[in-house]
Amino acid sequence: QQLVESVDVCSQSSSITRYAQPLTHSMNSFTLFCLLSLAVASCSGLKCRVCDNAEWCQDPSTLNCTYGTVKDACDCCDVCGQGPGEVCGGPWDIKGRCGVGLKCQKKKNNEGICIVQRGKI
C-alpha cells in the first residue's frame, strides 16, 4: 500500500509540472520584458545635474536675449528663448524653448518651430 501512495504522489507532481512549465515560461518572458524596458528607459533618459547650486549657469543679466529668457531643458539655468521661425522642442525640449509671446508648434518627433501666439506680441 505504501508503494501505491508513492506512485500517486509522483503522478500528481508530474501533472503539476505540466501546468507549471507554461507559467514559468511566461514569467521568464515577463521578467525579460521588464529588464529590457528598464534598459531602454535608462538609455533614452535625460540626465540633469542637481540644480540646487547653479554656479555653472551663465549670469542672466549678461544674456541680452531678444525674446526673453526661458529655462533650459533641465529647468535649471536661464537661457535665451528661441525666436520666430527657430527650431524648438524635441525630447525634453532639448532643441530649445520659445521666448516670450511665442509657442512651439510641434511637428514630428516632438520637434517644432516657434510661432507668434495671437495677442502675445
Residues 8 and 40 in one domain: yes
Q: Smallest Cα–Cα separation from 67: which of 110, 17, 9, 116?
A: 116
Question: What confidence tier does 120 reach under pLDDT thresholds 50, 70, 90?
Answer: low
- Give the strand pairing for 78-80 and 69-71: antiparallel
In sequence order, what DSSP letters do the residues of 23-59 get, joined into one string? HHHHHHHHHHHHHHHHHHHHHS-------SS-TTSPP
Span of 24-28, 44-48, 105-109 with lowest mean pLDDT? 24-28
pLDDT at position 95 over 50: yes
In this prediction the pTM is 0.57
- Reported as a single tens digit per residue, the pLDDT across 75-93 is 889 999 999 999 999 988 8
Range of the domain at 72: 60-116
Question: Residue 65 burial by CB count (10 A; 0-12/13-18/19+): exposed, middle or buried?
Answer: middle
Domain count, the chain: 2
Q: Write the CA distances from 12 to 6, 19, 53, 77, 106, integer angstroms.
A: 10, 11, 66, 67, 62
Whether 77 and 68 have beta carbons less than 8 Å apart is answered as no
Is residue 53 in some structural domain?
Answer: no
Give the pLDDT of residue 92.
87
Q: What is the average pLDDT score of the chain?
A: 75
Residues 33 and 64 in one domain: no
- Reported as a single tens digit per residue, the pLDDT across 65-79 is 999 999 998 888 999
CATH number reported for the structural domain that contains residue 67 in this entry: 4.10.40.20
Is residue 76 in some structural domain?
Answer: yes
Name residue 82's amino acid: Q
Residues 40 and 65 in one domain: no
Is residue 50 in some structural domain?
Answer: no
Question: What confidence tier does 32 reach under pLDDT thresholds 50, 70, 90?
Answer: low
State the DSSP code for 103.
E
Is residue 82 in some structural domain?
Answer: yes
Cell of 31: 521578467
Residues facing 89 on adjacent strands: 96, 111
